[in-house]
Structure 1
Amino acid sequence: MTGIRTAPTAVAGDWLGADLSADPEQWRLPVPRQVADELLVLARDSLDKAAEKFPDAPLPGAGPATRALAGQVHRRLAGFPGFVQLTGFPVNADFELVEAAYSLFGRLIGPPVSQTRAGNLIARVEDQGAKIAVPTQRGHHSSSALAFHADRTDVIGLLCIRAAAEGGHSQLVSSKALHNLALRERPDLLAVLYEPFPHDQRGEAPPGRPGWCELPVFSRFAGDFAARYVRRFVEGSQRHARAPRLTAEQVAAMDFMDELLHRHGVALQMELQPGDIQWINNFHILHSRSAFRDAAGPDGGRLLLRLWLSFAGSPALPPEYADMYGSTEGGAYRGGVCATGAGPTWATERGDHE
């Protein structure tokens, strides 16, 4: 078990949504026209050479401006504020071309990991009628509101192709801010949040594993901070007879987390419009989405394309994360639904982002 390896202390680099909303230049970056045009050219070339659509090197043909933009994204993900919103990504070209351009740019941030057992590297985030109360159905195929949570990856990318007719708004919260608020107000509950919680793996556990694992909400390991909070999955663990039963202290700690998450001024709210990409450091940021409604008609409803990326700037994780992530070393290739702990030979390269 992880336990508290050191007495909880404040984590540097936290922020409150009320502060960041007043200064969007800290987290919003435009995609220069030169970069947009180059990505479409490179995407066309990759489609013409289908066997090289996912090359063994991260976009060797990218020019200085494209690499500079990727470097800015990388630095903000690894440091402050832990997320970025890009605006003006080209989405008006053929869908296949847009998808390829997005994939190629994502590879400048980090190598992709699988989002399904079938090995899909891009997921369509749209209403397919999924019911999130069903343990084996996925939230990104539902129009329901999704509470604050973290995904099974280092970095999340969300490219907006079409917005909803109503709703679908995004909220982000600094996990570091949650930690520091708990340290000031309820250190007793923060201590509980450093201990392992049972966690349902929603039918996506590695072969031979029991379908649940134990993970702390907050951890400090090998000098790195990480957070993971998905209350729905914690409570879902109780469907497994052998999973530890939740204690009164754990329920109180989650209630306190939820109070902090919904406290005025803590979350940053944003609306993703077509051409926006939201990049999130999954271990430093929790994200949520409001329910949405699609317009009737043939034009299609809300559609985002999601990437899950491994990331050279990712933190070291406690050993308990091995069941879900494969490798727990900082910067290692890891994560995804089909985590194997192995990946492309270039997955550990760092130079493109320094």
Structure 2
Amino acid sequence: MAQVQAPTQAKDGWRTFSTEVENQNPTTLQWPEKIEGPTVWDGKYLEAHPDEWVYQLSNSEINEIDAAIKHFFTLNKELIFIDKASFPLPEFGKVLQRHKEILLQGRGFTLIRGFPINNYTREEQAAAFMGIGTHLGHRKTQNGKGHVLGHVKDISIGSLTKAVYDANDPTTRIYATRKAQPFHVDGTDIVGLLCLQVSQEGGQSSVISSHTVYNRLKEERPDIIELFKETWHWDKKGEHGPNDVPYLLAPPMTYYEDKLFTFYGPHFWETVPRLGIPVSDEKFEAMKYVQNLCEKEALEMWLEVGDMQFVHNHQILHARSAYKDSQELTRHLLRLWLIVPTEEGGWDMPFAKREGVYYYGVNHSVPLEAE
């Protein structure tokens, strides 16, 4: 079963970024001298204390997830329609609510380990991941094809699998290549990854609190913070409607309702010259400084088969090192983009519309292989 589809319905647009910054002029707000609290943490300390952020599933929790998978398939529903009701987790669901609080009100990331993912078919793997995701948020499309289940896998020219993209094309999304991903955020509230297979070499995952980054910049380079308050152009990589502009407008950092938001992606900024938009050496230098700072202080981790990593994009920058595949080991992760409305604990957005608009008007789909 390669793909299932459903007609478009109004469920996707909890966070649809506008082409203009709305609601405020962020440069006029009173920004903090220092951010304090659980959203600020030391990556190297946590790296040395995995017991503080790795959650090991118990046998009873594994059995409960297994029962939910079996229950879902007795309903004869397509994966696109999986929800909390069709994927019941009476006890582990309570654990996931605590993880949701950690994501939205605490350190902003979590890792769930120990699910025996290789015991299941691909469709069952997708059901497990999507079902668990429904207890954390609402699925959102991840690209112009309407995928609500993404595949982080090299499908570029020269890969060991079917080639779909040219890694050197500026419109190619980096997750579909073996290239290193610099520190960035994704265009959603929570991003989740499920590791199906590791690479032969490389592919290390890294996370850092953007609030920690802010504090460091305040000490070392306050000029970069001022630069990040300005509105930047971000390339949509060709994934936009025929009458829409090919870029987004948003500042890399915004302070709104006592929260620091980060909207940041080097690969979506450095290609805007192709749209006739000039870029500055000053911004390149700022991005290089931030990348070096993150590399020095981030928490680095290796995702194991069966690991589920979730990060809160508005306060976490994440990255991935370049990797190599082999015939025996081809790196492959499933990905979810999740939206959490404010009434469910999500952060109110400073530069987004909250409309029930589907992503570029395409059907939502659940591909079981990378495409």
What is the TM-score with the length of structure 1 in the denominator? 0.84
- Residue matched to 1:8: 31
* CA apart distance, 1:173: 1.3
1:122-133 mapped onto 2 (5 Å cutoff) = 122-129=149-156, 130-133=165-168
Query: Could you tell me how far 1:208 is from its partner in structure 2?
Result: 2.0
Which residue among 196, 201, 205 is the counterpart of 2:236?
201
**What pairs up with 1:77-156 in 2 under 5 angstroms?**
77-91=103-117, 92-129=119-156, 130-156=165-191
Equivalents in 1 of 2:149, 2:128: separation in Å? 12
Q: 28, 33, 48: which is aligned to 2:59? A: 33
**Residue 216 of structure 1: CA displacement?**
0.8
Within 2, Cα distance between the matches of 1:72 and 1:201?
A: 34
Counterpart of 1:346 in structure 2 is none
- Corresponding residue for residue 174 of structure 1: 209
Q: Which of 246, 261, 269 pairs up with 2:300?
A: 269
Does the CA contact (< 8 Å) of 2:104 and 2:347 recur in 1? no
Letter in 1 for 2:47: S
The answer on whether the counterparts of 1:47 and 1:53 sit within 8 Å (CA) in structure 2 is no
Alignment pair present for 1:318 and 2:370: no
Decide whether aligned partners of structure 1 residues 251 and 167 sit closer, same or farther in structure 2, where only a CA change above 3 A counts: closer
State the match for 2:260 in structure 1: 225
Distance 1:133 1:315 in 2: 35
Distance 1:289 1:198 in 2: 23
Could you say if the C-alpha distance between residues 42 and 144 of structure 1 is closer, same or farther in structure 2, counting changes exceeding 3 Å? same
Q: Residues 37-52 of structure 1: matches in 2 within 5 Å?
A: 37-51=63-77
**Which runs of 5 or more structure 2 residues have no equivalent in the other structure?**
1-20, 157-164, 365-371
| CA deviation profile, 1:42-83 (whole Å, cap 9, x unmatched) | 222222323364547523662432112211210110122110
Residues 120-129 or 5-14, more deviating: 5-14
What is the alpha-carbon distance in structure 1 between the residues aligned to residue 171 and residue 95 of structure 2?
37
Deviation string, structure 1 residues 295-324 (Cα, Å, up to 9, x no partner): 224xx61111111111243322323xx3xx
Distance 1:250 1:165, change over 3 A: closer
State the distance in 2 between where 1:218 and 1:124 align.
28
Residues 1:90 and 1:339: Cα distance change in structure 2 (over 3 Å): farther
Distance 1:132 1:222, change over 3 A: farther
User: CA, structure 1 residues 76+333, in 2 after alignment: closer, same or farther (shift >3 Å)?
Assistant: farther
CA offset digits 1:290-349 (Å, max 9, x no partner): 11112224xx61111111111243322323xx3xxx42xxxx989xx8178xx9xxxxxx
Q: CA deviation at 1:98?
A: 1.7
Q: Distance in 2 between the 1:301 and 1:262 partners?
A: 25
Say what the alpha-carbon RMSD is for the aligned residues: 2.4
Q: 1:304 aligns with which of 308, 317, 333?
A: 333
Q: Looking at both structures, which has the greater relative contact order when contacts are Cα pairs under 8 Å and sequence separation is at least 6?
A: 2
Count of residue pairs brought into register by the alignment: 324
Is the contact between residue 65 and residue 89 of structure 2 (CA under 8 Å) also seen in structure 1?
no
